[in-house]
Amino acid sequence: MRKYNFNAGPSVLPQETVVNTMKAMQDFEGTGIGLMEISHRTKGFEAVMNEASDLFKELLNIPEGYSVIFLGGGASLQFCMVPYNLLEKKAAYLNTGTWASKALKEAKLFGETVEVASSKAANFTYIPKDYVIPTDADYFHITTNNTIFGTEIHTDLDSPIPVVADMSSDIFSRPVDVSKYGLIYGGAQKNLAPAGVTFVIVKDSLLGKVSRQIPTMLDYRTHIKDGSMFNTPPVVPVYAAVQTLRWLKNLGGVEAMYQLNKEKAGLLYEEIDRNKLFHGTTAVEDRSLMNICFVLNDEYKDLEDEFYQFATQKGMVGIKGHRSVGGFRASTYNALPKEAIVALIDAMQEFEKAH
């Protein structure tokens, strides 16, 4: 039976990314040596690293004055690298979920922080709107998409200070005006590559302004200077990222992917709103295009396990909701085909008819 991968991450990747990476793991570009075994100092892999950076800049229309680097440690390491490099006087954070909360916690180790707004009291079911960004802070940190709770910031903010954004789970899913950000970072394992590489897009002029000493490996300038090759990079995930970026470019780029993502999410949200058994868990205007959370209505709560088993039998993988929300979560990342959404909707409708 065909399986439909709705996992929140690591998650579905384009088939050509998987196939091409597997081939390269056996023989990298005809060298007779597998991708896992090659030296990252070879011209062949240096070309891969350069292409990864070039495709980022092309697909996101990154302006001059920004650098793209690829690091280890996951997005969670960026929770400390960001304040290490940027926090001098004060940092401002918008708290919209688990990962935003963790980023704020780390920043407190480096200096004064302010939580400008939070939706925690409502279990992060919406994105706060009426808040004031402090002009005396060094940066304003946001998490653009919240995988656990299914909310998303859909527009680029106008801010009086540099915006730092964790875009781990919605990078390349919609157009982004990079010029409105000071730094964008994210783990690769949602929309880009297998876990193991983290991307950072940083405005060069923001760096080198803090008075503290920064350890070499935690200084963004180290990795900019050496083209992400100061130490051995995560070779396989970077190669896979290039395959995904080529795939995205061939599909028509970020704008084309955005239209497809809106179509996919729209179909599923429409069914959630129509189906007598289910309802969504977030404010309608803040619904994520990447992580769609829904639960059974109160009178059908006792059917949760039954529906999960039913959907699993129909080929759905990874739809169980996070324990913080319960219910179900369909992660609809770029590489998830529309047919997976249609299959899930069919399962929901069939289950509805049976009850």
Question: 9 is written with which tokens?
Answer: 């991450």
289-314 confidence digits (pLDDT tens): 999 999 999 999 999 999 999 999 99
139-178 confidence digits (pLDDT tens): 999 999 999 999 999 999 999 999 999 999 999 999 999 9
List the domain boundaries for the chain. Answer: 15-251, 252-354
Question: 90 is written with which tokens?
Answer: 């004060």
Is the pLDDT at 202 greater than 80? The verdict is yes
Amino acid at the residue 208: G
Angle at 257 between CA 251 and CA 263, to 5 degrees: 125
Share of the chain above pLDDT 70, in %: 100
The CATH superfamily of 252-354 is Aspartate Aminotransferase, domain 1 (3.90.1150.10)
pLDDT score, position 69: 98
Question: What does each C-alpha distance from 25 to 21, 242, 344 come to in angstroms?
Answer: 6, 14, 34
Among candidates 157, 124, 155, 154, which has minimal Cα distance to 141?
Answer: 157
Q: What is the mean pLDDT of the chain?
A: 97
C-alpha R_g of the chain:
21
* Across 200-226, average pLDDT: 98
pTM value is: 0.97
Orientation angle between helical segments 304-313 and 338-354, nearest 10 degrees: 130
- Considering only the top CATH level, what class is 15-251? alpha beta
Among candidates 128, 133, 141, which has minimal Cα distance to 81?
Answer: 141
C-alpha 228 chain-centroid distance: 20
254-283 confidence digits (pLDDT tens): 999 999 999 999 999 999 999 999 999 999
Q: Please give the Cα distance from 36 to 198 (Å, whole number).
A: 18
Is the pLDDT at 223 greater than 90? The verdict is yes
Q: Tell me which DSSP letter residue 319 carries.
A: -
Is the pLDDT at 1 greater than 80? The verdict is no
Q: Please give the Cα distance from 333 to 240 (Å, whole number).
A: 16
Helix (H, G, I), strand (E, B), or coil: what is residue 262?
A: helix
Q: Where are the alpha helices (DSSP H) in the chain?
A: 15-26, 43-59, 74-86, 98-107, 220-225, 235-251, 253-274, 304-313, 338-354
Beta bridge partners of residue 146, listed in sequence order? 151
CB 330 within 8 A of CB 289: no
59-116 confidence digits (pLDDT tens): 999 999 999 999 999 999 999 999 999 999 999 999 999 999 999 999 999 999 999 9
CB 102 within 8 A of CB 54: no
Among candidates 91, 304, 287, which has minimal Cα distance to 182?
Answer: 91
Angle at 301 between CA 300 and CA 303, to 5 degrees: 75
Residues identified as active-site: 99, 166, 190
* Across 118-125, average pLDDT: 98
Torsional sign, CA 119, 77, 222, 244: negative
Phi, psi (5° rounding) for residue 148?
A: -75, -40
pLDDT score, position 320: 96
